[in-house]
Amino acid sequence: MPAIRNLILVLGDQLTPTLTSLAGGDPVRDRVLMAELGDEAGYVRHHRKKIAFLFSAMRHFAAELRGLGWTVDYVTLDDPDNRGSFTEALGAAIARLRPARVVVTEAGEWRVRQMQESWAARFSLPVDILPDERFLCSPASFAAWAAGRKQLRMEYFYRDMRRRTGLLMDGDEPAGGRWNFDAENRKPAKADLFMPRPRGVAPDAITREVLALVEARFGNHFGDLEPFWFAVTRADAEAAFAAFVETALPKFGDYQDAMLAGEPFLYHAVIAPYLNCGLLDPLAVCRQVEAEWRAGRVPLNAAEGFIRQIIGWREYVRGIYWLKMPGYERSNFLGHARPLPGFYWTGETAMACVRAAVTQTKEQAYAHHIQRLMITGNFALLAGIDPHELHEWYLAVYADAYEWVELPNTVGMSQFADGGLLASKPYAASGAYIDRMSDYCDGCAYDVKQRTGPRACPFNALYWDFISRHRDKIGRNPRMAQMVRTYDKFPDAERARIADSAAAFLAGL
């Protein structure tokens, strides 16, 4: 007789007690395996704060499971018997415990899912791979939705998700008579002494032990390790979300696209790390936001904007990921091949907006979606940076980044490298957009009002140079054709100055 009925392997982004692999288990007859793995911490050079967040959250989740009656075999990174990979860790546990079968919930990333599918043959043991029901739309359901459509657009998927969940619905109609209030969510912000801050948590003994481990083992990785303030337990993640709802959600909609120097968070929730590792439930947080609107404490544009990010974009990009993997990670429709500039790692650039976004990323392992899309992403798009290099940078530096969510956002939305599968247009913009939505330009070494010349904002010449270089690929796009026509009206001398200014700046990279 096997000593253990089921060996349940729980991954680091599956920190949910109702996980399908756990829900069907029996704490008396089954055993849980969790492991901190060098391979997972280092397959890209993850931000040190990201590694510490996940290892500490994993250790706290193991304690949560033990409190629910489970026996958890937990392998720390510095365990002498740590084999470094999922497959080796699982093999060692199988040899030690002799389970009758292995049970896992499907991995969120393609490479780990391939490992899971190899284990039955490798270990001559049944391996049950169960669906991850924490998401609202399965890959199969998304594929069925996408089948036969000439274009895949998030807006139509989002409307179907609203109908499916009933969120912000009045019968068969959207609350307020509109599906999308994004046009009301583009206000620039002003500095405010009373601007809210995300609820932070002082490191406990477990977290302090992890911080010391990460400092010792990953001292040469990107990013500041301290101050460390992330929640690492379910209770603290829920408290952080509750604080956001009370203090920031009412203004989240208005200012969700705004950027301010020295204000990394503004009115954002900063809960994506908790959602993506399993400490928060996506449908539950959406229900809470809807309840706040129905109670009259939150305007509809804020509630709708928040809910769209989760049941719209979050579910949509996951669907695209599983629909198009493998191979999607190497998409390069525009043929961009320039290496990633070193200032993405150091922040040492005279461009104030890029410096602010990268410095904040280094300090916090966080930047909000417009900083990612319209600062670091926009610059990479205009400068012709290799989209795969940029993808690996985003995957490494943000605490909420897993390939299923980060890759489509980078390759599809930010870099237009999939040729328009995910996004309806390239998200390219000159310095005027950054000036309108931020105060970064006020203290910049470059002049956002100048298009060309050594003091001109680099985004300006790079934008028009991007239009010129890719006119054949974007000229028929209805949302870009007008910009091509505008460029064509420039005098020959101005077009030459644009090309010279762009080339001079890029040569300095």
Q: What is the CATH number of the domain that holds 83?
A: 3.40.50.620
Separation of alpha carbons 283 and 287, rounded Å: 6
At 1 the pLDDT is 45
At 83 the pLDDT is 84
Residue 259 pLDDT exceeds 80 = yes
- Inside any domain, residue 86: yes
Residue 2 pLDDT exceeds 60 = no
- Inside any domain, residue 212: no
125 and 147 in one domain?
no
265 and 187 in one domain?
yes
Q: How many CB atoms lie within 10 A of CB 386?
A: 18
CATH of residue 353: 1.10.579.10
Local structure of residue 309 (DSSP, 8 states)? I
At 193 the pLDDT is 62
CATH of residue 300: 1.25.40.80
Domain count for the chain: 3
| Residue 314 · residue 408 · CB < 8 Å | no
At 303 the pLDDT is 96
Q: How many CB atoms lie within 10 A of CB 389?
A: 16
Residues listed for the chain: 509
What is the dihedral angle through the alpha carbons of 494, 500, 505, 506, rounded to the nearest 10 degrees? 120
- The stretch 378-406 carries a mean pLDDT of 98
Separation of alpha carbons 458 and 379, rounded Å: 9
260 and 148 in one domain?
yes
- Inside any domain, residue 204: no
pTM of the model: 0.96
> Looking at 130, 149, 167, which one is the last position of a domain?
130
> Looking at 130, 158, 174, which one is the last position of a domain?
130
Q: What is the DSSP string of 184-244?
A: GS-PPP---TT---PPP----HHHHHHHHHHHHHSTTSSS---S-----SHHHHHHHHHHH
Residue 488 pLDDT exceeds 80 = yes
- The stretch 60-85 carries a mean pLDDT of 96
- The stretch 160-165 carries a mean pLDDT of 97
11 and 93 in one domain?
yes
Domain that holds residue 145: 139-196+248-324
346-371: pLDDT as tens digits: 999 999 999 999 999 999 999 999 99
- Inside any domain, residue 237: no
145 and 67 in one domain?
no
Contacts of 432 (CB under 8 A, 6+ apart): 448, 460
170 and 122 in one domain?
no
348 and 306 in one domain?
no
Mean pLDDT of the chain: 96
Residue 26 pLDDT exceeds 90 = yes
262 and 120 in one domain?
no
Q: Reduce the DSSP state of residue 350 to 3 states and report it.
A: coil
279 and 407 in one domain?
no
> Looking at 264, 296, 324, which one is the last position of a domain?
324
89-123: pLDDT as tens digits: 999 999 999 999 999 999 999 999 999 999 999 99
Separation of alpha carbons 164 and 158, rounded Å: 10
125 and 182 in one domain?
no
186-218: pLDDT as tens digits: 888 887 767 899 999 999 999 999 999 999 999
154-to-402, 421, 426, 452 alpha-carbon distances in Å: 20, 10, 15, 36
- Inside any domain, residue 153: yes
Residue 282 pLDDT exceeds 70 = yes
102 and 179 in one domain?
no
- The stretch 59-87 carries a mean pLDDT of 96
Residue 251 pLDDT exceeds 60 = yes
353 and 293 in one domain?
no
- Inside any domain, residue 312: yes
Which has the minimum average pLDDT: 26-35, 154-163, 331-340, 473-482?
A: 473-482
Q: How many CB atoms lie within 10 A of CB 332?
A: 15
